[in-house]
C-alpha cells in the first residue's frame, strides 16, 4: 500500500553538500523544498561535541559517520570479464551517511580546477595533436568555462570560510599563493591556517628547487568567521582529528555547520530523515520525473512524493543507480562504447611517501587535514607533456593531518608489525615521521564504468550498482612522474630515510585510498555524449537536476568538493532565474 503525498515544489534526494545548497537556494526563491535523507539527522551542537568527537575507535575504525552497507552497497570487479562481488564493508572510499553526508567527515581540502581543465580535450588536441590521445581515453570538455564558474567558486568559498592565499588575483600573480591557479575575483575569506614544521620544511625544499610552494587551501577557518549565510564558524584548534570525524568548533565547513543552521529556520524547508528513495517515477513522453517513491525506514511504509523539480543530490553511485533504475538516459554499453549513463567513472589517483627525520621534532599529532604546503607545478596543462608518454598531473603536498595512534603511526618498511622490536621502532619514529601525498588526475577510460549488478540486491530488493575499475596505464605513468618530482623535494629535505609508495597495479577495495569517485552522469554540450547539460539538467527529463561529482566528465588533479559546490550554486541560479519562469529544457539539443 503506497501513500501518495501532496505535491511539493522541489525534492532533494539526499542532504549533503549539494542537497543543502539546492534546498537553501530554492527556498530563498520561494519554493517549498523537502529533503529525503536515507540516514539519520546530525546536528553540530548535539552530535559534534567534546569529548566524544575525539574518538579514533568510534569514528576512525568503526566508521560511525559512514555508509551503512547493511542497507546498500555496490559490487566491484577490476575487469569486465570477472565476477563482481559486493563490497561488504566499505574501505577504499568512505561515503558519508545521514544529514551532511560526506561533507561532515571530509578533510576540507578546497580547490578549483584549472581554466584548462574545463576544456581539457580541446587543449590536449591543440597542443599535442588529435593522434596524441591514447586509445580508450574518453575525456571530454566541460560544457562550462572557468570564467563562468568563478563567481560560484567564490560564493562557495565564502560559505565555507576557506583559508588560503590567492596566487592569481584578477590576473595579477601573487608570490606565496598558487601562481598556476585561474584568476580569482577575491581573496580567500580567511588567511592560511598555521603551517606545521614538516610542511614548512617541504615548502623550503620545494622553493630551493625552483618550484612555487603555497599553503593548502582548506575549508577550515583559521579565525572566527561569519559566513555568507550569517552563520558563525569557529577557528581551527589544530586538534588533528579532522579526517573521518566531525569538527566540534565548526571550523571545518560542513553542510550542517554552514548552511543548515539558516536553512532549518526556513518554514519552506522540511527534512525527512530515514527516508530511502527507491525510485524516480519517470514519464518518458512528458520528459519529466513526476514523483519519487520512498520507504520510511522507521516503519517500512512506502510513499510517493510528487514534486515539480527533482534534485538528485546523493552520492555518485546512488545518482547513477537512480538513473539506470528509472531508465532515464541511455545506459553505457561497454562492449560497443555506446550510451552515457555509467560512463567515464574516475577514481582519484593518489600516491604518497613517508620520510623520517631523526633530528627534527614534528609533533605529528597536531594539525588539520590540510595543514600543509603544496606545489602545483605539475598539474593539468600547467606543464608540457611532450615526450612524457602520459597526460594529466596533480598537486604535491607535504601534509600534517594529525597522527592518531591507531592508524597514524609511521615506521620504516621492514619494521616488524608486532613484538618488542616493533614497539621500539614505533616509539623511535613517532615524533620524526612526515607524510606526503600526490593528488593525481584521472583521464577517463572506456573500460571503467558503472552498470546494474545482475545478482546482488539492496535491502529493498533493488539491483546494486556494479563498478568495473582498474587504473589505466596513463594514470600509472602520470603518478610515477609526480612521485619522481616528490622524491626530488624529499631528498632536498635531507631525511634520515624515506620511502615512496606507488599504487599497486591492481586496484583493491580494501585499504582506504580516496573518497573521490566521479562520473557516470556526465555533463556535456551534447545529449549523445552526456547525461546532463551545462546547468546539470537531465537531457531526458527537464525537471531533473543531477548534482555532485557524478557530473564530472573526468577527474582533475584536485579534490572535487570545491567544484561540486560551485556547480550546485551555478545550477541553482539557472533554476531560479530561468527554469522557474519557463519550465523546460534550458539548452536545446
Partner 1 sequence: MTDETIPRRKFLVGAGLAGTAVATGLTQTTPAEAQTPAAPAAPAAAPSPQAEPLLLLNETEHAFVVAAVDTIIPADELSPSGSDCGCATYIDRQLASAWGGGAKMYRAGPYFKGKPEQGYQLPLTPAEFFTTGIAAANAWSRKTYGRDFDRLDPDKRIEALTAMQEGKAAFENFNSRAFFARLLALTMEGFFGDPIYGGNRNKASWRMLGFPGLPATYAHVIDEYRDKRYVAEPQSIADFS
Residue in 338, 424, 491, 528 binding partner 1, rule: CB under 8 A: 424
Residue in 426, 462, 463, 492 binding partner 1, rule: CB under 8 A: 426
Full 3-state SS string of 529-563: CCCECCCCEECCEEEEEECCHHHCCCECCCCCHHH
Pick between residue 265 and residue 510 the one whose CB is nearest to partner 1.
510
The answer to whether 477 contacts partner 1 (rule: CB under 8 A) is no
Pick between residue 235 and residue 280 the one whose CB is nearest to partner 1.
235
Full 3-state SS string of 214-241: EECCECECCCCEECCCCCEECCCCCECC
The answer to whether 505 contacts partner 1 (rule: CB under 8 A) is no
**Smallest distance from partner 1 to CB 163, Å:** 13
- Binding region for partner 1 (CB under 8 A) out of 45-53, 386-394, 535-543, 557-565: 45-53
The answer to whether 414 contacts partner 1 (rule: CB under 8 A) is no
- Binding region for partner 1 (CB under 8 A) out of 34-42, 210-218, 265-273, 455-463: 455-463
Residue in 29, 43, 68, 281 binding partner 1, rule: CB under 8 A: 68
CB atoms within 10 A of CB 171: 8
The answer to whether 61 contacts partner 1 (rule: CB under 8 A) is yes
Q: Is 516 a catalytic residue?
A: yes
**Smallest distance from partner 1 to CB 317, Å:** 13
The answer to whether 456 contacts partner 1 (rule: CB under 8 A) is yes
**Smallest distance from partner 1 to CB 227, Å:** 20
Q: CA distances (Å), 279 to each of 50, 199, 289, 324, 328, in order?
A: 39, 47, 10, 10, 11
Residue in 13, 18, 27, 76 binding partner 1, rule: CB under 8 A: 76
Which residues 101-140 are close enough to bind partner 1 by CB under 8 A? none
Q: How far apart are CA 554 and CA 140, in angstroms?
A: 7
Residue in 7, 30, 45, 82 binding partner 1, rule: CB under 8 A: 82
Question: What is the residue-wise DSSP string for 501-522?
Answer: EPPPSS--SSS-----EE-SS-
Pick between residue 467 and residue 574 the one whose CB is nearest to partner 1.
467
Residue in 267, 300, 418, 589 binding partner 1, rule: CB under 8 A: 418
Measured between its terminal Cα atoms, the distance across the chain in Å is 40
Pick between residue 205 and residue 312 the one whose CB is nearest to partner 1.
205
Positive or negative: CA dihedral 307, 72, 454, 528: positive
Q: Residue 312's beta-bridge partner residues?
A: 13, 546
Pick between residue 128 and residue 431 the one whose CB is nearest to partner 1.
431
Cβ–Cβ < 8 Å for 123, 381? yes
Q: How far apart are CA 568 and CA 37, in angstroms?
A: 18
The answer to whether 430 contacts partner 1 (rule: CB under 8 A) is yes
Q: What is the DSSP letter of 70?
A: T
Binding mask of the shown chain, residues 85 to 104, with x at each position contacting partner 1 by CB under 8 A: xxxxx-x-------------
Q: CA distances (Å), 99 to each of 13, 159, 365, in order?
A: 11, 18, 29
451 CB contacts (<8 Å, ≥6 apart)?
Answer: 324, 331, 332, 334, 342, 465, 466, 468
The answer to whether 196 contacts partner 1 (rule: CB under 8 A) is yes
Q: How far apart are CA 173 and CA 469, in angstroms?
A: 39
Q: Kindly provide the residue ranges of all beta strands, DSSP E only, lying in 348-419, ordered along the sequence.
A: 349-356, 367-375, 394-401
* Residue 250 phi, psi (nearest 5): 55, 30
The H or E element containing residue 306 is: strand 302-312
Per annotation, catalytic residue among 516, 542, 556, 588: 516
**Smallest distance from partner 1 to CB 65, Å:** 11
Structure-derived torsion over alpha carbons of residues 549, 552, 556, 562, reported in degrees to the nearest 10: -40
**Smallest distance from partner 1 to CB 18, Å:** 24
The answer to whether 56 contacts partner 1 (rule: CB under 8 A) is yes
Q: How far apart are CA 312 and CA 307, in angstroms?
A: 12
- Binding region for partner 1 (CB under 8 A) out of 119-127, 306-314, 321-329, 505-513: 505-513
- Binding region for partner 1 (CB under 8 A) out of 3-11, 211-219, 412-420, 548-556: 412-420
Q: How far apart are CA 168 and CA 457, in angstroms?
A: 49
Residues designated catalytic: 516
For partner 1, the binding residues (CB under 8 A) are 50-52, 54-57, 61-63, 66-70, 72-73, 76-78, 82-83, 85-89, 91, 194, 196-197, 200, 235-240, 360-361, 363, 365-366, 403, 405-406, 409, 417-421, 423-424, 426-427, 430-431, 455-457, 506-510
Amino acid at each position: 500500500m503506497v501513500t501518495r503525498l501532496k505535491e511539493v515544489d522541489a525534492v532533494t534526494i539526499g542532504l549533503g553538500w549539494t542537497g543543502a545548497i539546492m534546498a537553501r537556494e530554492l527556498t530563498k526563491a520561494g519554493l517549498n523544498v523537502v529533503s529525503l535523507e536515507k540516514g539519520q539527522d546530525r546536528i553540530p551542537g548535539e552530535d559534534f561535541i567534546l569529548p566524544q568527537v575525539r574518538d579514533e575507535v568510534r569514528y576512525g575504525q568503526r566508521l560511525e559517520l559512514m555508509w551503512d552497507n547493511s542497507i546498500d552497497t555496490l559490487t566491484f570487479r577490476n575487469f569486465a570479464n570477472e565476477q563482481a562481488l559486493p563490497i561488504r564493508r566499505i574501505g577504499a572510499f568512505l561515503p558519508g551517511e545521514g544529514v551532511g553526508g560526506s561533507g561532515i567527515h571530509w578533510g576540507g581540502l578546497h580547490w578549483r580546477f584549472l581554466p584548462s581543465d574545463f576544456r581539457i580535450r580541446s587543449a590536449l588536441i591543440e597542443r599535442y595533436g588529435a593522434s596524441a590521445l591514447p586509445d580508450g581515453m574518453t575525456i571530454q570538455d566541460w560544457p562550462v568555462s572557468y570564467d563562468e564558474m568563478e563567481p560560484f567558486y567564490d560564493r562557495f568559498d565564502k560559505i565555507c570560510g576557506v583559508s588560503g592565499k590567492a596566487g592569481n588575483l584578477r590576473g595579477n600573480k601573487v608570490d606565496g599563493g598558487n601562481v598556476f591557479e585561474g584568476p580569482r575575483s577575491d581573496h580567500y575569506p580567511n588567511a592560511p591556517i598555521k603551517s606545521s614544521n614538516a610542511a614548512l620544511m617541504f615548502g623550503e625544499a620545494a622553493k630551493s628547487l625552483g618550484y612555487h610552494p603555497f599553503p593548502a587551501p582548506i575549508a577550515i577557518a583559521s579565525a572566527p568567521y561569519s559566513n555568507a549565510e550569517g552563520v558563525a564558524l569557529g577557528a581551527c584548534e589544530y586538534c588533528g582529528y579532522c579526517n573521518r570525524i566531525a569538527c566540534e568548533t565548526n571550523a571545518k565547513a560542513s553542510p550542517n555547520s554552514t548552511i543548515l543552521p539558516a536553512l532549518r529556520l526556513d518554514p519552506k524547508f522540511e527534512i525527512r530523515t530515514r527516508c530511502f528513495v527507491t525510485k524516480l517515477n519517470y514519464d518518458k513522453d512528458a520528459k519529466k520525473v513526476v514523483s519519487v517513491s520512498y520507504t520510511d525506514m522507521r516503519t517500512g511504509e512506502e510513499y510517493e512524493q510528487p514534486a515539480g523539480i527533482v534534485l538528485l543530490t546523493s552520492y555518485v553511485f546512488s545518482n547513477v543507480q537512480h538513473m539506470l533504475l528509472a531508465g532515464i538516459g541511455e545506459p553505457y554499453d561497454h562492449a560497443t562504447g555506446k550510451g552515457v549513463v555509467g560512463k567515464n567513472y574516475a577514481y582519484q589517483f593518489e600516491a604518497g611517501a613517508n620520510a623520517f627525520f631523526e633530528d627534527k621534532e614534528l609533533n605529528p599529532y597536531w594539525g588539520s587535514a590540510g595543514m600543509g604546503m603544496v606545489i602545483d607545478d605539475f598539474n593539468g596543462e600547467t606543464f608540457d607533456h611532450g615526450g612524457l608518454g602520459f597526460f594529466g598531473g596533480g598537486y604535491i603536498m607535504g601534509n600534517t593531518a594529525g597522527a592518531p595512534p591507531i592508524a597514524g603511526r609511521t615506521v620504516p618498511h621492514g619494521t616488524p608489525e608486532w613484538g618488542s622490536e616493533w614497539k621500539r621502532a614505533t616509539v623511535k619514529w613517532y615524533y620524526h615521521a612526515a607524510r606526503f601525498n600526490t593528488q593525481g588526475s584521472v583521464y577517463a577510460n572506456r573500460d571503467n564504468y558503472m552498470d546494474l549488478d545482475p545478482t546482488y540486491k539492496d535491502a529493498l530488493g533493488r539491483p546494486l550498482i556494479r563498478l568495473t575499475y582498474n587504473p589505466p596505464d596513463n594514470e600509472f605513468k602520470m603518478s610515477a612522474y609526480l612521485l619522481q618530482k616528490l622524491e626530488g623535494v624529499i631528498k632536498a629535505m635531507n631525511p634520515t630515510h624515506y620511502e615512496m609508495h606507488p599504487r599497486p597495479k591492481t586496484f583493491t577495495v580494501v585499504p582506504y585510498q580516496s573518497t573521490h569517485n566521479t562520473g557516470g552522469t556526465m555533463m556535456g554540450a551534447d545529449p549523445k555524449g552526456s547525461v546532463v547539460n551545462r546547468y546539470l539538467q537531465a537531457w531526458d527529463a527537464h525537471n531533473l537536476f543531477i548534482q555532485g561529482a557524478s557530473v564530472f566528465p573526468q577527474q582533475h588533479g584536485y579534490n572535487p568538493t570545491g567544484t561540486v559546490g560551485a556547480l550546485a550554486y551555478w545550477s541553482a541560479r539557472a533554476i531560479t532565474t530561468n527554469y522557474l519562469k519557463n519550465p523546460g529544457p534550458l539548452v536545446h539539443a
